[in-house]
Amino acid sequence: MKKIAVVGTGYVGLVTGVGLSHIGHEVTCLDVDHEKIDLLQKGRSPIYEVSLEPMIQENQKQKRLSFTSKYEDIQESEIILIAVGTPQQTDGSANLTYIYEAAEAIAQTINQGVTVVVKSTVPVGTCQDVKNYIQAKTPFPIQMVSNPEFLREGNALKDLFEGDRIVIGSDDRKAIQTVMEMYAPFDIPMMTTDLASAEMIKYASNAFLATKISFINEISSICEKVGANVEAVAKGMGMDRRIGSSFLQAGIGYGGSCFPKDTKALVQMAGNVEHQFDLLESVIHVNNKQQNKIVDQMKERCGSLVGKRITILGLAFKPGTDDLREAASLVILDRLLREGAFITAYDPVAMPRAKEKFPAVTFASNVKEALAGADLAAIVTEWDEFKELPLPLYDELMNEPILFDGRNCYSLDEVREQDIEYYSVGRPAIGYRKSAPLTHKA
């Protein structure tokens, strides 16, 4: 077993560090955010991720996992993983400040040769630059490995322990061997390559998944106009193994901390080498349009939204997380407020973060309270709680049961049995209530 340090305790760093300790390595996770480290030292997780906290506590108890904000505490580490954030800059490129802060601290701290493993998503060429940067500042030999992470929020531990592949990129065979040994207990297929290709695999993989989503969303818009059903189309497409059924779920666009950021960074990276990435620019454009779809549908149905009482069900960028980054809900709430609507929102876990951003929005403590007296309602995140909501409840609680389902949570068959007006994505609208001029119940 190895002595490993992980710098950065965001999604990637924390989940990876905890997972590596769980397979038997001695892991020290480091973060400059003292508050986070205080929380983690108490066995608490700063991120909402299923089964992560008990795994933290178990490995702390086994003395395989510890947390610090002091670099001297990781001096003895054979392997140092860099998993700090690479946030997006205004021009779309990746901000590498935290990467170089970590590199500087590592160069000043180590007292032996070390294998540095970059897990953060970084533009092609960064790992080589970081290696040169550290090596110029220390007499101890540095081996550099690019090891991109593919875990999904809300599914992180499962993806770590049951991932499709582990990508290990380096120009140093010994370093590749060291990292393969580190991951061996996971028993996941490993692909080894050079530094630059490993860095590109990350961007290309996320960009391709985003492309699949924008493609099916474009198809969904055509389906609405030609009377086809996008779910049937996606099913028929996905039965072709060359296409595959995953990531063909039409909806109101992708969000999160990765796809929006990585697609823009890849367009930027391509531009830096005079390649106009037309396809990916369209993917981003389509996604921006899709995030506006629900408000466009509401305006098409009602005209002005001034004074309308609108309920938003779901704020997180997807179920299973409290993360709002680049979520469709941010676009929808912002636009509806500018349209003069009164908004009530509900989300099982993401409301604390949304309250800071939207003081003008009313946050309900449960779905029923959120729907009571609403003129229009929209499903923005496909939490199970919403998928299992009995349809008659919309008629019972709302002023008029007019529902815009941005995640196709209900089957059209079950909707047709109800007396509600229903709009979704890439499927025929149901039950237009001519009799429903939008006036408030007394």
Which residues are marked as active site? 258
**What is the closest distance, in whole angstroms, from the C-beta atom of residue 146 to ligand UDX in the complex?**
14
> Hey, what amino acid is at 419?
D
Per rule CB under 6 A, is residue 36 in the interface with ligand UDX?
no
**What is the closest distance, in whole angstroms, from the C-beta atom of residue 238 to ligand UDX in the complex?**
10
Query: In the set 206, 263, 291, 297, which binds ligand UDX (CB under 6 A)?
Result: 206
Q: List binders of ligand UDX among 255-284 (CB under 6 A).
A: 255-256, 258-259
Per rule CB under 6 A, is residue 394 in the interface with ligand UDX?
no
Per rule CB under 6 A, is residue 363 in the interface with ligand UDX?
no
Residue 303 zone, left/alpha/beta (φ > 0; ψ -120 to 50; rest): left
Q: Distance between CA 89 and CA 35 in Å, rounded?
A: 25
Per rule CB under 6 A, is residue 426 in the interface with ligand UDX?
no
Of residues 210 and 367, the one with the C-beta less far from ligand UDX = 210
Where would I find the H helices in 239-309?
Answer: 259-272, 278-291, 293-302
Task: Report the candidate in 129, 209, 124 with the shortest Cα–Cα distance to residue 116.
Answer: 129
Per rule CB under 6 A, is residue 149 in the interface with ligand UDX?
yes
Taking the CB of residue 390, how many other CB atoms lie within 10 A of it?
9
Backbone angles phi, psi at 377, to 5 degrees: -135, 150
Query: In the set 48, 161, 247, 277, which binds ligand UDX (CB under 6 A)?
Result: 247
Q: Distance between CA 365 and CA 65 in Å, rounded?
A: 37
- 217 contacts: CB under 8 Å, gap ≥ 6: 250, 251, 253, 286, 287, 290, 425, 426
Taking CB under 6 A as the binding criterion, the range among 135-143, 242-250, 296-304, 305-313 that sits at the site for ligand UDX is: 242-250
Taking CB under 6 A as the binding criterion, the range among 46-54, 123-131, 245-253, 263-271 that sits at the site for ligand UDX is: 245-253
**What is the closest distance, in whole angstroms, from the C-beta atom of residue 189 to ligand UDX in the complex?**
16
347 three-class SS: coil
Of residues 254 and 394, the one with the C-beta less far from ligand UDX = 254
Per rule CB under 6 A, is residue 152 in the interface with ligand UDX?
yes
**What is the closest distance, in whole angstroms, from the C-beta atom of residue 392 to ligand UDX in the complex?**
27
Per rule CB under 6 A, is residue 215 in the interface with ligand UDX?
no
Two tokens, residue 208 = 């391709």
Q: Distance between CA 332 and CA 324 in Å, rounded?
A: 12
Of residues 151 and 377, the one with the C-beta less far from ligand UDX = 151
**What is the closest distance, in whole angstroms, from the C-beta atom of residue 49 to ligand UDX in the complex?**
10
Are the C-beta atoms of 258 and 121 separated by less than 8 Å?
A: yes
Site string for ligand UDX, 297-336 (x = CB under 6 A): --------------------xx------------------
Starting from the edge strand earliest in sequence, which strands make up the sheet with 402-405, in order?
Answer: 362-363, 342-346, 309-313, 376-379, 402-405, 421-423
Two tokens, residue 184 = 């061996």
Binding residues for ligand UDX, rule: CB under 6 A, are 149-153, 206, 209, 213, 247-249, 251, 254-256, 258-259, 317-318
